Every structure is written in C-alpha cells, then in structure tokens.
Structure 1
Amino acid sequence: MTAILRFAPSPTGRLHIGNLRTALFNWLFAARENGTFVLRFDDTDKERSTREFADGIATDLAWIGIHPHKTARQSERIALYDAAAETLKSAGLLYPCYETPDELDRRRKRLAARGLPPVYGREALKLSQEERAALEAEGRKPHWRFLLPNFEGDPFAPQRTDTRFDDLIRGETVIDLASLSDPVLIRADGSYLYTLPSVVDDAEMGVTHVIRGDDHVTNTAVQAAIFTALGARVPRFGHHNLLTTVGGEGLSKRSGALSLETLRDEGYEPMAVASLAVLVGMSGSIEPMADLEALGERLDFGAISASASKFDPAELDRLNREIVHALPYAAVEGRLAAMGVGESDWEAFWQAVRANCDRVPDAKTWAGVAFREIAVPAPDDEAERAFRDAALRLLPEGEIGPETFKAWTSAIKAETGAKGKALFMPLRRAITGLDHGPELGPLLPLIGRQRIERRLGAG
C-alpha cells in the first residue's frame, strides 16, 4: 500500500517552527516510504482564513524544500462534508443540540462543584420533536453533536469504552470514550468544525498515516469512531511532542512567534531551521543536516521525547553559523548579487569573510569594508598616529597580493617593536574601522592599495 500523508494547516496566520515540525515529520516519512504528501488547507473558518495566508504557507514550505504532490482546500469540498453529515444524521449518530454557550458553561460548573467530570450529559437527546420546534421558534438554531459509541443500549448510561491504537510515535495508546463529551461537529451557523472535514478528507484521499502534535491524542479516539461510523478505514496515527519557547510558552501562528517568514527575512538558512525543527527533543546531537534527505535519515520516531521540547533561538544561531561558514560561493552567489554588492572579486571576498558571517546577509557589512569608501576612526593619540604613519610608509610597493600582509606586518614590527595585539588591533582599526572581523591577509587585496592608503592617512 502506498503511503499517503498530509499536512493540514489552517490558513489563519503564518507558519511557525512548531507547524514546520509537523510538516517535516509527514514529508520525511512520506519520502522514506516513497509515498505521497498532500498539502490540505483546512480553510472552513471563513472569518479568519485567507488566500494570502495560504499562499504564504506554500511559500514557507517551498523555502524549506517541501513541494507537495497534491494541494487541496476544504472550502472547495463542502459537498463531501454535507453528504457525510447526512449519513450520520440518518444513522442517528448526529443529533441537534440547543444549549447556548452560557448554559453549557453553567452546566460544567455545576458538575465540577459536585466533583464530576465536565462531560456533556446528552440532554438534547431527550428533547421531543415538539420541544425542539419550540426552541427553534424562540430563534435558537441547533449545533450538532456526534453520538460517541460508549454505551451498550442506553446512551444515558455510558460505560468505559477503550479505543486502542498503536501510535507511530507513542506506542500503545488507550483513550476511554466514556471520559469524553460527544463532540460538536457542526456549529449553529451551519459551519463545520475541524473534526468532520478532517475525517472525510482523510478517508476520501486515502490517507494512510496521520502524524500530528500530541495535543490531538484524544481527538484521535473521536475521529476513529467517526471513520468507523462512515465505513472508512482508520489511518495509522502518530503524535509527536510539541515545541514551546524557552520560557515554556506555546507557539502561535497569529502571534508570529518564530514564523518561517520572519526567519527567512532575517537571513536564516532553511536547513538550519529544518534541522532544529526535527532534531530538537530527539535523542542524539543537534547538528546541521546537509539536506532533507540527510535529515530524513536522522528521523527516529522512537527517539522523540514524550515531554514538550523547548526551541532555543541560540541553538538556531549556532546551526546557522555552522552552515554559513561551510557554504561554497556557488551557493550564495545569487543572494550576494541581490544585495547589490557584487564585484569581480566576489568569490575571493566570500572565502575571506564567510567565517565572520552568522548569516549570509552579514556579508553586506564586510562588502562595504572591502569595496566601498568608509570612515575610519581618528587615532586615539600621537602614538597611534605615528603607528599609522609608519604603516603607510612601510606598505610594500607593487600589487597588493596574498603575501602582502605577512611582509607588511613584519616590516612594521621590525621598525616599531609592536607585536601581537599591539600590532594587529591598531592596523585593523585603521584599515577596516572596526576592532574585529575577517583575517586581514585575504582582505587586503580586495580593499586595494588606494583605499588602504587613504584610510591610513585619514584623521
């Protein structure tokens, strides 16, 4: 059987690193099984779902390297959900309820006060046709609940009913349906909640595996019951741990927390983001993977922690540095040109500065140092002024090349006696205007004689 997996985001905001974790688990598993990956937009929430967010999600996934084999939108599949709802209604498994949110809240509080679990008591099932008509005459519109199969013959006498499934990540998992309220599948305004469309789509698309966050574990038991009620095969489920911020807070699309769009705009490498999204909370070292294929080889569902994992931006910075420092010129040529700082010596420049770039856009700062006119700080005192005068006078004649720096500093050291930090720091300040940066040897040929002389003579 061909593996079919899906990633089903709601296009109500930009993807964050936690969403990417789920997408990658599904993408990498599908790739491992030579299967199919479906991007399905759960966009039935008409008020908050937008095409702009959907397009942004597709862009974010493509940046990482995820290219769906198929894309679908729930807003275009309403007829399928309507048909499924009618099937359940005809079977007596989807029933109308008229309680208001306030009434339901008061009922839950009364149950809590009595030390009872806040499980819906199926009071709406007791309503006669006349009572329903009277409520509708008041202007009430029903929401619809799915009748969970947690009873023998009397729905008002639920009994322990275990749903067992072999979770792809968590292993044997048991959920008691009697501990759950009958879920609302259709709102009073006629719109669908997440649950029924998800089941209908998974069944119609032939989804074989559903990998998602462990906040959906109880939903799985409910959805398994709906699959069965509709005569559909239940997929294999897997629930991974969630990511939080370092402070332990949950990530949110609407807050923009660690959104992929932001990370991309800030110059992070996609494989740094993908590597951390998958490997955090998994046993073994967190290191940058070369590509998604290599990342897939590291993926081990059995090694994922059961508790939430904290996403540390400092760890992302570390991974990004390691990737950037190893990037060949061919991998960054287009991005450097897009910065508007391309030069004929650009490849030599990248080799000279990449070890001092946490992100590729950092190269723009060093391009200014190498290829543009810059203001250097004036000497702090007469001693530094004298050092610069000597350095200018001792600059070797001829073309500035790879060996110039060694010969030059040897000459300065012999005349001034300066060595170590006392030699290199004032020279760096005079030439680059900074107290730190790339090695000067490879940088000097890029700066060129005229700019070196002008900077040494400034101030």
Structure 2
Amino acid sequence: MSIVSRFAPSPTGYLHVGGARTALFSWLYARKYGGTFILRIEDTDLERSSQESVDAILDGMNWLGLDWDQGPFYQTKRFDLYKEVVAQLLADGKAYKCFCTIEEVDAMREAQTAAGEKPKYNGMWRDRTDHPTDKPFVIRFKNPQEGVVVIDDLIKGRIEVANTELDDLIIARSDGTPTYNLTVVVDDWKMGVTHVIRGDDHVNNTPRQMNILAALGADIPKYAHVPMILGDDGKRLSKRHGAVGVMQYRDDGYLPEALLNYLVRLGWSHGDQEIFSLEELVQIFDLSDCNRAPSAFNTEKLQWLNQHYIRTSDPAYVAKHLQWHVTEQKLDISNGPTLEQLVAVQGERVKTLKEMVEVSRYFFEDFSEFEENAAKKHLRPVAAEPLKAVQQALAAITDWTAENVHAAINSAAESLGLGMGKVGMPLRVAVTGGGNSPSLDATLALIGQARCLARIELALAFISQRGEAA
C-alpha cells in the first residue's frame, strides 16, 4: 500500500505549534515510507476563514521546510463534489431532510438533559415523509443505530464507540453548504488518504466520519490521534503562554531546525536522544513511538536547542536566516563584517538570532556614549595609560588580523607590566561601548582598524572629561 497522509488546517488564524507538530508527524510518516503528503486548506467556515490566515499557514509550512506533494487544495473550490455526495446519500436512503428549527432542537436537548440523558438530536425526521414545501431544512446523515465503531488508533490503541452514543449529524446546512464532517470524509476518500494523523481533539469526530465512509463504500483510513500540547502550567497551550504561532518563533529569532527538533520531541521519543536532523527523523520516525499522554511546552528547552543549531550549523546558512532580523531591526550592515563572520563570533553567545542582532550593533554602527555601568567601572583615569599604549600598538599594525591584534594587545600590556584584565576590559568598553563581547582579538579584527582607533580616542576623551569633572 502506498502511504498518503495529509495536513488539513482551517485558515481561521496563524499556524499554531500544535498544528505544526501534526503537519510534521504527517510529513515524516509520508517521507519515511516514500508516500505522498497532501496539504488541504479546510476553508468552509466562510465567516472566519481569511486569505491572511491561508498565507500564514503557507508561510509557516515553507519556513519549516515541510514541502507538500499535492495541493494546496481548497474545500471552497470543491462544493460541487460535496453536493454530489450529499445527493448520493439522500438517494441511497443514507441521509434525510430535517425540518427542525433551532428552537426545537434546543428544546429537545434541554428535555434530555433534565431527564439525565445525553443531549442529542432524537431523529424525529429520520423516517418521516410528510415533508413541508415551504420550510427550510438541513440534511442529516442516517447514522447506524446498532453496533459499535472500532478505531484501531495507531497512537491511542483500540477505541470502541457504540452507535447509540452518536446522533444523526448535519452534513449540509439549510443554505446547502456542507459541514466539516462531510467535507473531511469526502476529501480523504477522493484523495486516497491512507493515514489520518491529527490532534486528539478530533477523536469524537472519528467514529462519525468512519460511518459516513462506510456508507459511501469507501476505504477507511488508519487513524492516529496525537495528544495535545500543554503550557508549562499544565493547561492547554494558548497565547497566554507566549508565542504559539509558528511565524512568531521566526520573529523571535529561532531557526526552523530548532523548532522542528523541539516539536518532534513533544510526544515522540527515540531512546534518550535529544537532537535530530530532519534527514535522521525521516529514517527513524514511527507513530508507534508516540506518547499517549499530553506534552508540556518548555521554552528553555527550545532555547537550548536553538543555541545548539546556531552554534553548530553552517554559518552561511545561519546568516541567511539572520538577514531577516537584520532587515527587521533596521541594522545597516554595509560597513562592517559579513553576517557569516558575525555568526562565527557570536554564535556561542546568544540564544536567538534576534538577540544576535541586538547585541552586535557596535560591529556596524558608531556610538557617542558608553554603557553607563561599564564606563563607570572600566573607563577611569587609571585606564588612560594602558589605552594609549594599546592605541599606539594597534596603529602600528600593517596587516589587520586577529592574530596581529592579539599580539599588539599583549605587547602593550607587557610594556606596562600590567595583567590583561587592566588592559582588556577598558579596551573592550572603548571599542564596543559596553562590557560584553566575543574575544577581543576577534572583535577588534571585525570592527576594523580605523574604527577601533577612533573609538579608543573617544574613550580617552571620556576619561579626560571624567577626570576634569572630579
């Protein structure tokens, strides 16, 4: 059997991390078995669906690198097909017109609740033929009234649901538009989907959908329901926990590999291994290794993974993603090191690409003021002599390299009989404006000779003014 999986989001908002994990699991399963991965946009909720949300879903999938083999398909383009299937079910006596008003259905359910029964539609129009000609109607599926639906869930195991627990659900509204449970069934059938991998909030829909598939004489796919993702407080992940949209993680400075690696570990494991490449995951991923219990989101773990990928990935690749943040934060990089060089020196020091831009401005932009606490501590009158000595040593360099910068700083410190701490920290504050940077030789090499000398001059002027003020 050729594997066909699908990801079928509703375009009513961003692509959230739960949906992204579902997409990842479906994508991995298809890729592992050389199957087909379909992207389907379930946009039948005309009031809530938007093109902006469609774009957010496509952007998220593209950013994560989850390419699809077929689609994107849009359900709103397939209404004629759904109407044909509804007509077929009506003709076969497997669906019927229901003329109940909303008030009648509400009253029905209230009475059942008052009697201690499960509230559901009671099938009052199921077998009637006295159809009025002047009243609106919906079309309901004629659910079997006996027997049990068995779901051999690939994650949750065997689930049994008695048909007496299910009512005759609406498959077409009074305006003729199809409902979710009908469109999903028809699309999975017509697209040849063999494996439905989705969130476990759909478990209640599955027996209903299986019954409709059976009524159509369609093959029933295998189902795998992935447990939900919780916030670190144990409640369902939502906006209150921070970023939950995939592109927000891009905006916050995460690499797609870090998010993918993190998401796959939310509910799936392979021994004690924590770090996986996408290629490796394609080889080893299997639904049988998924957990049945919900997983809790942990931002610190995600940051740890992101730092790993920033540190270990090809600097040229990281630089491509860094460019977006450079543009977003309006950093002019025309005068300074390349982004690859920046990644090489800052990769060990930051958790996100956004942070990398924030702490790297001094490589590209001049400044007129020093960080207050760093200047107070290190740009004191006693620092003037070592700064002048370093300035002279740096000015004498004819080949501006990190090795030659290192030698010049050591030479200046030795000539004054000073330790590196009394030379290095004033120099760091002088050339970067603050007290934190990568190694001095690498930092100065990337800032450039002329800029370094000018900034040391600025620091010496600051020290002189400070001495006069005292």
Query: Identity of aligned pairs, percent?
Result: 33
Cα distance in 1 between the residues matched to 2:378 and 2:193:
77
Q: Write out aligned runs for 1:201-212 (5 A).
A: 201-212=187-198
Residue 30 of structure 1: CA displacement?
Answer: 0.5
Structure 2 residue corresponding to 1:387, chosen from 378, 383, 386: 383
Counterpart in the other structure of 1:144 = 139
Q: 1:368-406 CA deviation, whole Å, 9 max, x = no partner? A: 312331234274279723214322223423244323336
Name the residue aligned to 1:439.
Answer: 439
What letter matches 2:98 in structure 1?
C
CA distance in 2, matches of 1:448, 1:428: 14
Match of 1:158 in 2: none
Is 1:341 the equivalent of 2:341? no
> SS in structure 2 opposite 1:356?
coil
Partner of 1:75, secondary structure, is helix
Amino acid corresponding to residue 276 of structure 2 in structure 1: M
**In 2 relative to 1, CA 24–360 (structure 1 residues): closer, same or farther, beyond 3 Å?**
same
Unaligned stretches of 5+ in structure 1?
152-160
Instruction: Give me the whole-angstrom Cα distance separating, in 1, the residues matched to 2:389 and 2:217.
Output: 89
The secondary structure found in structure 1 opposite 2:389 is: helix
Q: Counterpart amino acid of 2:347?
A: R
Alignment of 1:299-448 (within 5 A): 299-335=285-321, 339=326, 340-341=332-333, 345-346=337-338, 347-377=340-370, 379-380=375-376, 384-395=380-391, 396=393, 397-399=396-398, 400-403=400-403, 404-405=405-406, 407-409=408-410, 411-412=412-413, 415=416, 417=418, 420=421, 424-448=424-448
Aligned counterparts of 2:335 and 2:352: Cα–Cα separation in 1? 19
1:168-187 alignment runs, 5 A limit = 168-187=154-173
Shift of the alpha carbon at 1:333? Answer: 4.2
Range with bigger deviation, 382-391 or 30-39: 382-391
Is the partner of 1:355 in helix, strand or coil?
Answer: coil
Q: CA deviation at 1:173?
A: 2.1
What is residue 94 of structure 1 aligned with on the other side? 95
* Shift in alpha-carbon separation, 1:286–1:388, aligned structure 2, 3 A: farther
Distance (whole Å) between structure 2 residues aligned to residue 111 and residue 294 of structure 1? 54
Q: Contact conserved, 1:169 with 1:304, CA < 8 A, in 2?
A: yes
Using a 3 Å threshold, how does the CA distance of structure 1 residues 308 and 99 change in structure 2: closer, same or farther? farther
In the superposition, the TM-score normalised over structure 1's length comes to 0.87
8 A contact 2:97–2:140 mirrored in 1:
yes
Tell whether the 8 Å contact from 2:150 to 2:161 is kept in structure 1 after alignment: yes
Q: Secondary structure at the match of 1:437?
A: coil
Task: Give 3-state SS (helix, strand or coil) of 2:193's partner.
Answer: coil
Whole-Å separation in 1 of the counterparts to 2:156 and 2:178: 29
Distance change (3 Å), C-alpha of 1:386 and 1:215 = same
Q: Distance in 1 between matches of 2:23 and 2:253?
A: 21
Give the equivalent residue in structure 2 for 1:35. Answer: 35
Distance 1:205 1:17, change over 3 A: same
Q: Shift in Å at residue 260 of structure 1?
A: 1.7
Out of 307-316 and 203-212, give the one that drifted further: 307-316
Higher RCO (C-alpha under 8 Å, 6+ residues apart)? 1
Identify which of 177, 184, 191 aligns with 1:198. 184
SS in 2 for 1:63: helix
Matched, 1:295 2:291: no
Count of aligned positions: 441
Task: Report if the CA contact (8 A) 2:18-2:229 is conserved.
Answer: yes
**Where does residue 467 of structure 2 map in the other structure?**
none
Instruction: Give the superposition deviation at 1:13.
Output: 1.8
Q: Which amino acid aligns with 1:389?
A: E
TM-score, scaled relative to structure 2: 0.85
On the 8 A contact 1:26/1:37 being kept in 2, the answer is yes
Change (3 A) 1:416 1:113: farther
Distance 2:202 2:315 in 1: 44
CA distance in structure 1 between the aligned counterparts of 2:300 and 2:377, rounded to whole angstroms = 39
Q: What is aligned with 1:227?
A: 213
CA gap of 1:427–1:294, structure 2 versus 1, over 3 A, is same
CA contact (8 A) 2:29 2:286 kept: no
Deviation of 1:18 after TM superposition, in Å, equals 0.7
Q: CA RMSD in A?
A: 2.8
Partner of 2:452: 452
Q: Which segments of 5 or more consecutive residues in structure 2 lack a partner in the other structure?
A: 327-331, 463-470
